[in-house]
Amino acid sequence: MTPASPANVPATRPTDPRVTTLAARQAALVAALVADAPPPPGFAPEPLAAARAALLRKRAGEVARYWPLLATGLHPRWLEVFQHWAAGRPPAGALREGWDLARYLHGAGELPPLGADELACWQAGYHYPEPGRPPRPRRLPSWGRVGGAIAIQVAGRVRLLRPARRHP
Amino acid sequence: MTGPVGVGIGWRPEIAGFVAGLPGLRFVEVIAESVPTAGPLPAGLTALRERGVAVVPHGVRLSLGGAEPVDPARVAHLAAVADLTGAALVSEHIAFVRAGGLEAGHLLPLPRSREAVTAVCANVARAQAELPVPIALEPIAALFDWPDDELDEAAFLTEILDRTGAHLLLDVANVYANSRNRGTDPLDLLDRLPLERVAYAHVAGGAEQDGYYHDTHTNPVSRPVLDLVGELCARHRPPALLLERDGNFPPAATLHAELDALAAVGGLPGVT
């Protein structure tokens, strides 16, 4: 119980980090778990770290369901690669996250051929012009090309015409 | 309410064929957010409905425990899925999944405070006003607790159930996980919860990693979890038990065995 405050003293001081609204505290907790913000006051750090790692593993599993070839192509380092890339990056949905990761790896010259095949197929089927907005299905016939892989899409059906160059 | 009865299983597209082949099945659960309301139900679910198998839409992203009011569009979607599946009951979690514009990607625990009880009850009331059927609330497995809990788990949950009139969806694996990670006795919790309010119970597998027990839904159901189901049923047998398996799907024979084990420990008719 909080003792009754004198009338001229505010019951809570907004500058006191221990006294804040549930909304603000929930926001601080989520930011600490997914966006590299510092742990909110009072939380034990080890369980929070375990929760952070568990969230990354769950996200990796969800992305691998949308991007099975990318995950397979990175085997046995898939979890490590995903966690390294995703740590501190708030979740954006599995389709987008796999797409962003594939683009990042392509830029770094580390996209495996299977991942290039898969990215080309998604590009043929979906329009994803800018990060921050969800990919949308393409209505017109289209194609995708990544690292030598070429995929085409007609009436919603995607076909990989040529796989990416396999590394020697 | 004619809620779920018997042994059920979480319907997932990957095991739709397996689920369709269970002759004694009377209910399944489906992740509400995975069901598009624009088109027809997935064919597998339609076939189950035609067989008289009850469907319980299970929401995972309403964020009923969020301090902000629940998103009316998400409630409307859950209501539409309930209509589409002819459901007699829906379920969601006592948890929040987003805050401050960020998605957590999973269910997060609330502080067990009076302020949080008020917030979650307000959101449950908002949802109940729009849902065509009753809701059951599921306590989650949490890897951490808030530093300023005022209530223990039983008092926190009972207060929410009393104030909302909601049913309880008791996840036995979550009870087990929390007791292991907190070092508490799961039977104490079972003894203090209003078990007559349980509409159905969840059972799932988990795994130990880095010193914590994780409720993964991708591992086999362990003997201690089955034993805890037995303890639950000895106190008050819920009308239904549901096996949750979300990935790393085993051969059909293994899932059959898990369903049989659930039926045996719960004293319910077999479905395989």
How many Cα atoms are found within 13 Å in the side-chain-facing hemisphere of A112? Answer: 15
Domain membership flag for residue A106: yes
Nearest chain A Cα distance for residue B118, angstroms:
11
Residue A76 to residue A73: CA distance in whole angstroms = 8
Q: Which of A22, A58, A63 to mutate to test the interface with B (most CBs of B within 10 A)?
A: A22
Segment B36-62 mean pLDDT = 94
What is the total count of domains within chain B?
Answer: 1
Residue B60, pLDDT > 80, answer yes
The answer to whether residue A28 neighbours chain B at the CB level (below 8 Å) is yes
Contacts of B66 in chain A (CB under 8 A): 23, 26
Residue of B nearest to A45 (CA): B144
A32-36 contact pairs (CB < 8 A, 24+)? A33/B104, A33/B108, A34/A88, A34/A89, A34/A90, A34/A91, A34/B102, A34/B103, A34/B104, A34/B105, A35/A88, A35/A89, A35/A90, A35/B102, A36/A87, A36/A88
Predicted pLDDT of residue A8: 40
Please, what is the angle between helix B114-130 and helix B153-164, to 10°?
Answer: 30
Predicted pLDDT of residue A10: 39
Domain membership flag for residue A134: yes
Domain membership flag for residue B271: no
- The string of pLDDT tens digits covering residues A108-123 is 999 999 999 999 999 9
- Please judge whether B100 and A53 are an interchain contact, meaning their C-beta atoms are less than 8 angstroms apart: no
Residue A95 to residue B7: CA distance in whole angstroms = 34
Segment B235-256 mean pLDDT = 96
Report the run of H or E that residue B241 belongs to, with start and end.
strand B240-244
Predicted pLDDT of residue A11: 41
Predicted pLDDT of residue B148: 86
Nearest one of B169, B62, B80, B170 to B126, comparing CA atoms: B62
Out of A47-51, A118-122, B37-41, pick the least confident.
B37-41
Domain membership flag for residue B142: yes
Residue A13, pLDDT > 80, answer no
- The string of pLDDT tens digits covering residues B162-209 is 999 999 999 999 999 999 999 999 999 999 999 999 999 999 999 999
Residue B3, pLDDT > 90, answer no
Domain membership flag for residue A2: no
Q: Which of A1, A20, A26 to mutate to test the interface with B (most CBs of B within 10 A)?
A: A26
Which residues 47-76 of chain A have a CB within 8 Å of chain B?
47-48, 50-51, 53-55, 58-59, 61-62, 65
Predicted pLDDT of residue B1: 54
The residues, any chain, with a CB within 8 Å of residue B178's CB and separated by 6 or more, are B141, B142, B153, B184, B186, B189
Print the domain residue range for B250. 6-266
Pair A93, B33: CB distance under 8 Å? no
Q: Which of B143, B181, B217 to mutate to test the interface with A (most CBs of A within 10 A)?
A: B143
Print the domain residue range for A155. 22-162
CA distances from B18 to A119, A157, B15 (A): 31, 28, 5
Pair A134, A95: CB distance under 8 Å? yes
What radius of gyration, in Å, describes the C-alpha atoms of chain B? 17
Mean pLDDT of chain A: 88
Bridge pairing between strands A126-127 and A136-137: antiparallel
- Please judge whether B104 and A30 are an interchain contact, meaning their C-beta atoms are less than 8 angstroms apart: yes
Q: What are phi and psi of B21, to 5 degrees?
A: -90, 10
Nearest chain A Cα distance for residue B256, angstroms:
24
Domain membership flag for residue B272: no
Segment A42-46 mean pLDDT = 93
Residue A5, pLDDT > 50, answer no
- Please judge whether B105 and A55 are an interchain contact, meaning their C-beta atoms are less than 8 angstroms apart: yes
- The string of pLDDT tens digits covering residues B125-168 is 999 999 999 999 999 999 999 998 999 999 999 999 999 999 99
- The string of pLDDT tens digits covering residues B204-238 is 999 999 899 999 999 999 999 999 999 999 999 99
What radius of gyration, in Å, describes the C-alpha atoms of chain A? 22
Give the N- to C-terminal CA distance of chain A in Å, as an integer: 70
What is the total count of domains within chain A?
Answer: 1
Residue B91 to residue B166: CA distance in whole angstroms = 10
Contacts of A91 in chain B (CB under 8 A): 103-105
Nearest one of B203, B181, B208 to B260, comparing CA atoms: B203
Residue of A nearest to B207 (CA): A54
- The string of pLDDT tens digits covering residues A128-161 is 987 778 899 999 999 999 999 999 999 999 999 9
Segment B81-101 mean pLDDT = 97
Nearest one of B49, B44, B59, B56 to B4, comparing CA atoms: B56
Domain membership flag for residue B143: yes
Amino acid B272 reads: T
Partnered with residue B200 across adjacent β-strands are: B169
Predicted pLDDT of residue A9: 39
How many Cα atoms are found within 13 Å in the side-chain-facing hemisphere of A16? Answer: 8
pLDDT over 90 percentage in chain A:
80
Domain membership flag for residue A17: no
